[in-house]
A and B are shown apart, each in its own frame.
Chain A
Amino acid sequence: MKKSRFNVIDFFIIIAAVVVIVGILSRIYIDQTTGIAYNETADICFVIKSTTNSCENGLNKGDKFTWNGSELGSLKTFSITEAKTVMLDNDKKAYVTVTDKERKDVKGIISSQGAFTDDGFMLEGSKYIGAGMHMLIQSGVYKVDVLVLSVDKAS
């Protein structure tokens, strides 16, 4: 009968098992102690400035958007208005805001899931989203660059 021996491979297997268990336990402990929940709902208010009429065909309430390979959320509300653009006046003395009937401004809200942390809103718990960010988002065949205006906890 072969005598069982404790060799260096057994040692490594035990170490690996201990590391895995400690990793899982510490992760559970961190989540519990920090109280981070990844299922908080945020209203991401965005604007698309001076875009083409394509937005009228590309946007629909309830559309699901992705960003950088992550599920961003669904379009809660949106409004399309004639674009406001800034130009020099006819005397070329001052900037004025004028309406551009050929282009559109879009303002909307995407309802998203993530975590509100001390560092701000994190999509999937780790991807920061904040006002001032430009995001290339996509819903089906419609892809557009939006500017985030605010991120608030959904009421």
Chain B
Amino acid sequence: MDEKKRKHFSFNIIDLVLIIILVLILAVLAYVFFLGKNNTKSADLINIEYTVQMDWIYDELTTEISEGDEVTETTNIKKIGTVSSVTVKPFLTQCGINEDGSIKYGEYPGCSNITVKIRTKAEKTPDGYKVDGYTFTIGSNVCIRTPGFLCSGGYCTDITEVD
């Protein structure tokens, strides 16, 4: 009789392993959905406008990015702001030496320089401005894309805190 009772409530090693797996899955889900997310309070965030410069852009591509476009960082696919202005200028590059010994710059046909200003909310840290885990610093390379345009050779030239 006693033996029968023990069998009825038997708890074996497989049950233990399954419980451990379940606990691990729940722990991972909890991390992904709650702790893994950027838990910066919105009060800690400040408005910034940063500038991304892109050189050697073919003229045919300059109309593919425009004000209001949402910007995504291409490495981790994070939203990093909205385009507030786009400036397109002829692309200048070194083409010789002036008589006074200085470097001569000339327009490179068919290519443009695009300067894009992007607004977003960011957390100010000692390492730079953090936007959804992505840290901006002046001079760093920025790979961005909008719904219609992608550039992997941009670089940040300025970051300004705005109202």
Contacts and interface: CB of A to CB of B under 8 A. Distances in A.
Interface of A: 5, 7-9, 12, 15, 47, 84, 86, 88, 92-97, 117-121, 128, 130-133, 147, 149-151
Contacts of A92: 95-96
Contacts of B106: 93-95
A149 B60 contact: yes
B126 interface: no
Nearest to A88: B95
Which of B22, B107, B109 has the most CB atoms of chain A within a 10 A radius of its CB?
Answer: B109
Given A9-B14, A132-B64, 13 more contacts: A8-B11, A9-B18, A86-B109, A86-B110, A95-B108, A95-B109, A118-B147, A119-B70, A120-B145, A131-B150, A149-B58, A149-B61, A150-B148
Interface string B98-117: 00000010111110000000
Contacts of A131: 61, 64, 148-150
Contacts of B72: 119
For the residues of B in contact with A, the DSSP-based class is strand
Interface residues of B, number: 30
A128 B142 CA distance: 18
B58 A128 contact: no
Contacts of B146: 120, 130
A25 to B, nearest CB: 18
B159 interface: no
Nearest to A147: B58
Contacts of B15: 7-9
B5 interface: no
A151 B58 CA distance: 16
Interface string B31-60: 000000000000000000000000001101
